[in-house]
């Protein structure tokens, strides 16, 4: 199979500098601010984005070097297949987060709920669209057995 070459469209900046203290998901990163600096050659692509409250950020886990097919998730004690988790030690190191967009100034997207390390290469942006993306009846596999009180404590990870 042919190799796929991806080039960043920008860089994500956040207060998250230590992977061990970074929230594990956007839902646990409320109040964690950051911004995405879009490279000048992609600025035109931001047109009409200001009408959306949330964005999917697709990025590259640049600080992760290992690949594991079995992982012990942060919120569980049992080893799981990596594809049933959002662990960063994936074969292709691609991350996905839904963050809040609260302002755009030029080529800078100001964000909240940022669970992404500072300096992370941004690969793509897609708007969250509730009529397409909101799924009323879905299953969440092993995650359905997680204690949410415990998850809120573990998920925030800030000391």
32-84 pLDDT per residue, tens: 999 999 999 999 999 999 999 999 999 999 998 899 999 987 777 889 899 98
Q: What angle do CA 136, 60, 81 make, to 5 degrees?
A: 60
Q: Is 116 exposed, middle or buried (0-12, 13-18, 19+ CB in 10 A)?
A: buried
Domain count, the chain: 1
pLDDT digits (tens, 9 = 90+) for 134-146: 878 876 666 666 6
For residue 145, being part of any structural domain is answered with yes
pTM of the model: 0.85
For residue 5, being part of any structural domain is answered with no
Q: What sign results for the dihedral spanned by CA atoms 40, 61, 32, 54?
A: positive
Q: Give me the numbers of helices (H) and strands (E) for the chain, helices first please.
A: 2, 8
- Provide the pLDDT for residue 159: 45
Q: How far apart are CA 65 and CA 61, in angstroms?
A: 9
- Provide the pLDDT for residue 36: 98
Whether the per-residue pLDDT at 132 is higher than 90: the answer is: no
For residue 136, being part of any structural domain is answered with yes
CATH number at residue 102: 2.40.30.70
For residue 131, being part of any structural domain is answered with yes
- Provide the pLDDT for residue 14: 96
For residue 4, being part of any structural domain is answered with no
Across the range 120-125, mean pLDDT stands at: 98
For residue 86, being part of any structural domain is answered with yes
Q: Which residue has the tokens 């970074």?
A: 22
Residues whose CB falls within 8 Å of the CB of residue 135, separated by 6 or more in sequence, listed in order: none
For residue 106, being part of any structural domain is answered with yes
Phi-psi region of 101 (alpha: psi -120 to 50; beta: other; left: phi over 0): beta
Task: Give the chain's length.
Answer: 159
pLDDT digits (tens, 9 = 90+) for 79-116: 989 998 888 999 999 999 999 999 999 999 999 999 99
For residue 59, being part of any structural domain is answered with yes
Q: Which residue range(s) make up the domain with 147?
A: 10-156
Q: What sign results for the dihedral spanned by CA atoms 117, 95, 28, 74?
A: negative
- Provide the pLDDT for residue 151: 62
- Provide the pLDDT for residue 127: 97
């Amino acid at each position: 199979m042919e190799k796929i070459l991806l080039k960043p469209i920008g860089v994500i900046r956040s207060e998250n500098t230590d992977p061990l203290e970074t929230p594990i998901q956007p839902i646990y990163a409320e109040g964690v601010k950051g911004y995405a600096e879009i490279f000048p050659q992609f600025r035109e692509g931001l047109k009409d984005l200001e009408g959306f409250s949330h964005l999917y950020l697709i990025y590259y886990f640049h600080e992760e070097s290992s690949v594991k097919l079995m992982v012990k998730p942060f919120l569980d004690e049992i080893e799981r297949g990596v594809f049933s988790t959002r662990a960063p030690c994936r074969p292709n190191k691609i991350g996905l987060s839904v963050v809040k967009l609260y302002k755009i100034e030029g080529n800078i997207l100001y964000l909240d709920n940022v669970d992404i390390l500072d300096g992370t290469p941004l690969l793509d942006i897609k708007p969250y669209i509730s009529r397409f993306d909101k799924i009323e009846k879905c299953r969440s596999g092993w995650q359905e057995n997680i204690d949410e009180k415990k998850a809120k404590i573990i998920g925030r990870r800030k000391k």
